[in-house]
Amino acid sequence: MWINSIYLAVILLCLLVTALLGSKVNCHDKERIREDHIHFCCKHPDGHNDVTEKCAKQTNFKLPSPKEEAPEDVTVDEVMDATCWAKCVFDNYKFLKNDTLDMQAVRNHYKTVHKLDPEYESEMIAAFDQCHSKAEKATSDFLENPLMKAFAVQKVNSCKPISAIILSCVIYHFFHSCPRNRWSNTTECVETLDFATRVVNMWVNSIYLAVILLCLLVTTLSGSRVNCHDKERIREDHIHLCCKHPDGHNVITETCAKQTKFNLPSSKEEAPEDLAAGDVMNGTCWAKCVFDNYKFLNHDALDMQVVRNHYKTFHQLDPEYESEMIAAFDQCHSKAEKAISDFLSTRVLSYTIGKIHNCKPMAAIILSCVIFHFFHSCPRSRWSNTTECMETLDFAKKCKRVLQTM
């Protein structure tokens, strides 16, 4: 069940598999996977379902057909777009308790309703268990991602998306673990199975898995060892001191901070780069206010001409900084950078078209990206020689794109 939100991870995993095994598989070929068709591949109870149908009517969500009303008949993308439908289904089944999956309720449901198909019952319980288990680090990190936390604590379309997140994970695991005897022998399904066999074990958000895989790839090719999971190596609250940039008082950022009740690091640290990406994502209204004042956005799209004019005017005495910041904005704006394009197009981030804290988070997303690129591309001459900064630099070279703020 390949979804847009893990597409980048698929590509990276393909590179890793190819490097280690010498096998070739075109992981860019998304046409190999028919998302609207995949629910036919693994045998499961179809037909009328009172709960899913009732919830669809209540939330104006369109199910595939009157004969395809099982949760597995809906694609992951559709589930992530239908947070209210997923929440309604989970509420009716009483699957959630205080926004946490109640595995006992899940087991009771499948053992009662699907006792005539013990294999399906077992597979679905296992899928829910995988997505619930604290032992599954990838799912835990996905839900702990600063972006995901920013969305999950708010209401999107008046519905918390936690049900949709869990259900998306369940759908993935159900099809990924489908017993061979239940898998259809149609051309599409056989191709999908072959594709899945080559590109294995990919349930995590695109950024987190990319970090792990790139770390493994770097280690394999260079022979060096580094623990890319060791996030404690990176002091997010310290990293803005590593790459020299204009600090001090900034009228715009300070005014916006007061208007939105957002805490800046200090009166001498008011540059956007003084903030961690996680802070920016939690300060969507602040970021929007800053971008509005600078007129950086035009119809929710970054206006690069305005960005260039701003940095060329206000930072002409520091041409290197001016150049680095324009390049960072350009990287986050450019359609040519596939990684950023895929990152911004994920279904999880599709929630950004809504309002969080009454502010669209597009400015915060772009600014987080800019902060990443600014520090990641910092000229060596501007990088501090402190122990923390040198460790961070070494870590960044070995585990690219690990840093939340870089």
Judged against a pLDDT cut of 50, whether residue 109 lies above it is answered with: yes
Rounded-to-integer distance, Cα 244 and Cα 272, Å:
13
Is residue 219 within 8 A of residue 225, CB to CB? The reply is yes
Average pLDDT, the chain: 68
Question: H or E element: which one contains 302?
Answer: strand 301-302
Structure tokens at 243: 């790459």
pLDDT score recorded for residue 38: 65
Rounded-to-integer distance, Cα 193 and Cα 108, Å:
31
Angle of the 83-93 helix axis to the 162-176 helix axis, nearest 10 = 80
Is residue 164 within 8 A of residue 99, CB to CB? The reply is no
pLDDT score recorded for residue 381: 84
For 325, phi then psi, to 5°, come to: -70, -40
Write the CB contacts of 58 (distance below 8 Å, at least 6 apart in sequence).
Answer: 88
132 versus 236: the higher-pLDDT residue is 132
Highest mean pLDDT among 2-6, 233-237, 259-263: 259-263
For 297, phi then psi, to 5°, come to: -105, 140
Rounded-to-integer distance, Cα 93 and Cα 107, Å:
11
DSSP string spanning 342-401?
A: HHHHSTGGGGGGS-BTTB-THHHHHHHHHHHHHHHT--GGGB--SHHHHHHHHHHHHSTT
Is residue 349 within 8 A of residue 147, CB to CB? The reply is yes
pLDDT score recorded for residue 282: 64
Rounded-to-integer distance, Cα 158 and Cα 88, Å:
12
Judged against a pLDDT cut of 90, whether residue 219 lies above it is answered with: no
Mind listing the pLDDT tens digit for each residue in 127-183?
888 877 643 444 455 455 544 454 444 444 457 777 877 887 787 778 777 888 888
Judged against a pLDDT cut of 90, whether residue 293 lies above it is answered with: yes
Is residue 99 within 8 A of residue 60, CB to CB? The reply is no
Judged against a pLDDT cut of 60, whether residue 305 lies above it is answered with: yes
Q: Which CATH number fits domain 4-222: 2.60.40, 3.40.50, 1.10.3470, 1.10.238?
A: 1.10.238
Is residue 328 within 8 A of residue 295, CB to CB? The reply is no
Q: Which neighbouring-strand residues pair with 356?
A: 359
Percent of the chain's residues with pLDDT above 70: 57
Is residue 227 within 8 A of residue 402, CB to CB? The reply is no
pLDDT score recorded for residue 75: 61
Structure tokens at 239: 């990293």
Q: For the chain, which residues make up each domain, given as ranges?
A: 4-222, 232-398
Mind listing the pLDDT tens digit for each residue in 42-71?
777 766 678 888 988 888 888 777 666 566
CA 248 → CA 234, 251, 280, 322, 401, distances in Å? 24, 10, 18, 17, 28
236 versus 232: the higher-pLDDT residue is 236
For 298, phi then psi, to 5°, come to: -130, 105
For 356, phi then psi, to 5°, come to: -115, 130
Judged against a pLDDT cut of 90, whether residue 295 lies above it is answered with: yes
Judged against a pLDDT cut of 60, whether residue 371 lies above it is answered with: yes
Judged against a pLDDT cut of 60, whether residue 312 lies above it is answered with: yes
Q: Do domains 4-222 and 232-398 have the same CATH topology?
A: yes
Sign for the CA dihedral angle at 87, 149, 325, 253 comes to positive
Write the CB contacts of 388 (distance below 8 Å, at least 6 apart in sequence).
Answer: 235, 238, 242
> Among candidates 225, 242, 218, which has minimal Cα distance to 392?
242
pLDDT band at 264 (very low <50, low <70, confident <90, very high): confident
Structure tokens at 323: 């150049």
314 versus 32: the higher-pLDDT residue is 314
The dotted CATH code for 232-398 is 1.10.238.20
Question: H or E element: which one contains 262?
Answer: none
Please report, to the nearest 10 degrees, the dihedral formed by the alpha carbons of residues 215, 220, 223, 229 taken in order.
20
Percent of the chain's residues with pLDDT above 90: 11
- Provide mean pLDDT across the span 207-216: 33
Structure tokens at 272: 């956007």
The pTM for the full model equals: 0.45
Highest mean pLDDT among 75-79, 163-167, 260-264, 367-371: 260-264
Mind listing the pLDDT tens digit for each residue in 20-44?
333 344 444 444 445 555 667 777 7
Write the CB contacts of 34 (distance below 8 Å, at least 6 apart in sequence).
Answer: 188, 192
Name residue, tokens 């005539």.
116
Judged against a pLDDT cut of 80, whether residue 400 lies above it is answered with: no
Displacement of CA 3 from its chain's centroid (Å): 11
